[in-house]
Chain A
């Protein structure tokens, strides 16, 4: 219970006044605050007044007051972005001037390009190729060494600029596989036979009477693009049928479906959407993913030295 004492009673032990309240025998001393504390408090009030005038502070109907200093977080970000652009200008200019084939001879630039490409990939490419560039059924995995149109820097850059099967771009990667089943070019039995043959090429199926029958069908209908041995052709973007990688599925029914009514991938012509430097960087990044071809030889197998943190 709280009890009221006459205010100003002196505490015997400390000779300090009490505030006049008692809780079960416990009283509160009225110890004065040090004066400097008061000054600190006034200083804080003064600071807050200045702050409210100098910086955005008062919420209005549509936006806050702007403050006399004109500071804004958006403006801060702008400044940061400009500073980054200025810092990168030298590298970007050097990349713009350099043909991509010569990039591996300049390790510093190459590293910058791979890093920049990784960032651009996250924005433009992950929608189809996935965040790890591993693709999915129908969308190529860019980490492996199986290239439909070629896997050296220059070829990757060309594919990026002109895209795949893009109408309106004369240099686009272009090829069409006929709808062998859907258009009645082959009967379902023939398709079954040629499927059997195709699956023997990579050892997925054993040779059989069906695959024997498919041999001639393959030579007549498929070898023109996929090659007599089924090794594929980069001129037409025709996949290698003898390897372990199956873009549209490795199961028998996947292969039949693909012969019946082929799925043919498309990619935008990035040359109309991105600047040349970004495309170079993207090519360098994709090339660096572990399947790239035609690396420049480095002395003693030594890679360029990289020093970080100092």
Chain B
């Protein structure tokens, strides 16, 4: 009979978040992070305010997603809804671009450019500004609630809120003329959707950047899981070289027992600076966003104690093994250029060039036709047969243009429109189409008595513009 074993303490169903107090660090990668953060934030906040002259009929905002009028403007490019494949192409490029970056340099997107990372980083700097560095913040976290703590928390959260409001507020300027909308926003005359959007995005920035932070990456974001599949033993990731570092021991111990300890002095600096609060020495893990701040921290310590840098380093798993076996490290550039990354690059640039080619050769004139099916044909008094069509003329340029519609085929047939008299019927019609607009046109086509059913086409030609033409095929029905 076994002795009665005391049952272990019942585990909690819900895990409390372990707060992260990441220490300030300076170094090569921290500077890269600063630069990328500045660039991302500048692009985000400045872009809607850039102007671009498109003439009197189009908006002057350089980048504008005009949902109300279904147009997308990006500097000299204007996309119509039927050209949405350009946007689809860009999204595919973004996807393949991420694959490319991930297979070459690991989770660089996560570590440097992801909005969650950029804003979390920004908010952690606010923490440092108000509450001080790691130790001060830990002390304040453990301190009981008092006047000083409440004051600091309120100050910090106010700054969070201000940043969040600026973030949520800037978003709406991509969807309407920024100066106008800003004026409307402050005078209370903007659309309720604008206020709602700002409120929601302010709240999400405040919560996700201020409080959720690394939990978004670990629990919510699907991308780390997908990236796990993208990484292989040839991908550059932040690696702790355990063969060099182990066994860990303090400097003192190492001096006392030469040859028994590795380079890692167990100073915990790599853990202290980590924005997601992990220990890189445990190996690759989902919490690591490869921001490389631990490399900065470790290199600094290695310099101080006079050991070679790179105990924690960007390295591939394969290379790490090779180094362990005593071979020299492979150069990073060589690691990046390999068949897999080149293949991604080829696919990425092929799509890019195709899109550019299509953009350069697209025609700014369009014609679609839809034939009336009820009734399919009409017999006229004199025995002639009439069919009706609804045409749509498209003028994709920012000026009114004269366009000529002509019948191609169907000998003897003439046409007129809904709002003109039958005796004005001819084989050509000229219309002026408003700038950046489509125009519907109901057309009646009459063929002489005895005509047979026939395939024919409407041909649209912008007058005086060679190449700016379109043809729409249709049929002519008879009794």
Decide if B382 touches A290 in the complex (CB within 8 Å). no
A43 to chain B, nearest CB (A): 11
Contact partner, B374, options A114, A132, A288, A301, Cβ 8 Å = A132
Decide if B378 touches A290 in the complex (CB within 8 Å). yes
A17-B11, A37-B14 in contact; A307/B437 too (CB < 8 A)?
A: yes
Contact partner, B381, options A7, A17, A144, A309, Cβ 8 Å = A144
Decide if A32 touches B14 in the complex (CB within 8 Å). yes
Check if A245 is an interface residue, CB within 8 A of chain B.
Answer: yes
> How many Å lie between the Cα of A33 and that of B417 in the bound state?
68
Contacts of A73 in B (CB 8 A): none
Decide if A301 touches B434 in the complex (CB within 8 Å). no
Check if A189 is an interface residue, CB within 8 A of chain B.
Answer: no
Interface flags for B420-461 (1: CB within 8 Å of A; 0: not) read 111010100111111111111110100001000000000000
Contact partner, B419, options A6, A36, A110, Cβ 8 Å = A110
> How many Å lie between the Cα of A38 and that of B215 in the bound state?
14
CB neighbors of B among A294-310 (8 A): 294-295, 297-298, 301-310
Contact partner, B15, options A34, A143, A243, Cβ 8 Å = A34
Decide if A302 touches B15 in the complex (CB within 8 Å). no
Decide if B375 touches A36 in the complex (CB within 8 Å). no
Decide if A244 touches B11 in the complex (CB within 8 Å). no
A172 to chain B, nearest CB (A): 25
Contact partner, B382, options A34, A141, A244, Cβ 8 Å = A244
A38-B14, A290-B388, A295-B421 in contact; A302/B432 too (CB < 8 A)?
A: yes
Check if A145 is an interface residue, CB within 8 A of chain B.
Answer: yes
Contacts of A304 in B (CB 8 A): 419
Interface flags for A239-275 (1: CB within 8 Å of B; 0: not) read 0100111000000000000000000000000000000
Contacts of B442 in A (CB 8 A): 288
Contacts of B12 in A (CB 8 A): 32
Decide if B381 touches A35 in the complex (CB within 8 Å). no
Decide if A35 touches B439 in the complex (CB within 8 Å). no
Check if B212 is an interface residue, CB within 8 A of chain A.
Answer: yes
Decide if B418 touches A307 in the complex (CB within 8 Å). no
Interface flags for B392-411 (1: CB within 8 Å of A; 0: not) read 00000000000000000000
B240 to chain A, nearest CB (A): 19
Check if A107 is an interface residue, CB within 8 A of chain B.
Answer: yes
Check if B7 is an interface residue, CB within 8 A of chain A.
Answer: yes
Check if A30 is an interface residue, CB within 8 A of chain B.
Answer: yes
B81 to chain A, nearest CB (A): 9
A8-B7, A32-B12, A146-B381 in contact; A132/B419 too (CB < 8 A)?
A: no
Check if A131 is an interface residue, CB within 8 A of chain B.
Answer: yes
Check if B386 is an interface residue, CB within 8 A of chain A.
Answer: yes
A8-B7, A35-B14, A310-B434 in contact; A134/B219 too (CB < 8 A)?
A: no
A35-B16, A244-B379, A295-B421 in contact; A303/B437 too (CB < 8 A)?
A: no
B17 to chain A, nearest CB (A): 6
Check if B372 is an interface residue, CB within 8 A of chain A.
Answer: yes
Nearest neighbor of A17 in chain B, beta-carbon distance? B11
Contacts of A35 in B (CB 8 A): 14-17
Contacts of A36 in B (CB 8 A): 17, 212, 215
A133 to chain B, nearest CB (A): 8
Contacts of A145 in B (CB 8 A): 380-381, 422
> How many Å lie between the Cα of A245 and that of B378 in the bound state?
10
Contacts of A301 in B (CB 8 A): 420, 424, 426, 429-430
Check if B328 is an interface residue, CB within 8 A of chain A.
Answer: no
> How many Å lie between the Cα of A6 and that of B8 in the bound state?
10
Check if B252 is an interface residue, CB within 8 A of chain A.
Answer: no
Decide if B375 touches A303 in the complex (CB within 8 Å). no
B232 to chain A, nearest CB (A): 23
Decide if A8 touches B419 in the complex (CB within 8 Å). no
Check if B383 is an interface residue, CB within 8 A of chain A.
Answer: yes
Nearest neighbor of A295 in chain B, beta-carbon distance? B421
Decide if A243 touches B8 in the complex (CB within 8 Å). no
Decide if A303 touches B417 in the complex (CB within 8 Å). yes
B318 to chain A, nearest CB (A): 24
Interface flags for B338-350 (1: CB within 8 Å of A; 0: not) read 0000000000000
Contacts of A141 in B (CB 8 A): 375, 378
> How many Å lie between the Cα of A298 and that of B431 in the bound state?
13
Check if B70 is an interface residue, CB within 8 A of chain A.
Answer: yes
A305-B439, A310-B434 in contact; A8/B418 too (CB < 8 A)?
A: no
Contacts of A110 in B (CB 8 A): 419
Contacts of A8 in B (CB 8 A): 7-8, 10-11
> How many Å lie between the Cα of A288 and that of B422 in the bound state?
11
Contacts of B435 in A (CB 8 A): 310
Decide if A17 touches B8 in the complex (CB within 8 Å). yes
> How many Å lie between the Cα of A294 and that of B382 in the bound state?
18
Contacts of A244 in B (CB 8 A): 379-383, 449
Decide if B69 touches A309 in the complex (CB within 8 Å). yes
Decide if A32 touches B15 in the complex (CB within 8 Å). yes
> How many Å lie between the Cα of A145 and that of B449 in the bound state?
15
B427 to chain A, nearest CB (A): 13
Interface flags for A278-301 (1: CB within 8 Å of B; 0: not) read 000000000010110011011001
CB neighbors of B among A81-133 (8 A): 104, 107, 110, 114, 130-132
Contacts of B418 in A (CB 8 A): 114, 288, 290
Contacts of B431 in A (CB 8 A): 302-303, 305
B208 to chain A, nearest CB (A): 11
Decide if B383 touches A306 in the complex (CB within 8 Å). no
Contacts of B449 in A (CB 8 A): 244
A34-B215, A303-B417 in contact; A308/B437 too (CB < 8 A)?
A: yes
> How many Å lie between the Cα of A38 and that of B17 in the bound state?
12
Nearest neighbor of A7 in chain B, beta-carbon distance? B7
What are 25 of the A-B contact pairs (CB < 8 Å)? A32-B11, A33-B14, A34-B17, A36-B212, A38-B14, A104-B419, A132-B372, A132-B375, A134-B378, A144-B380, A145-B422, A290-B378, A290-B444, A291-B380, A295-B421, A297-B421, A302-B431, A303-B420, A305-B433, A305-B434, A306-B434, A308-B437, A309-B70, A310-B434, A310-B436
Query: Given A143-B386, A144-B381, A245-B379, list of 6 further CB < 8 A pairs?
Result: A8-B11, A290-B422, A295-B421, A302-B431, A303-B420, A308-B438
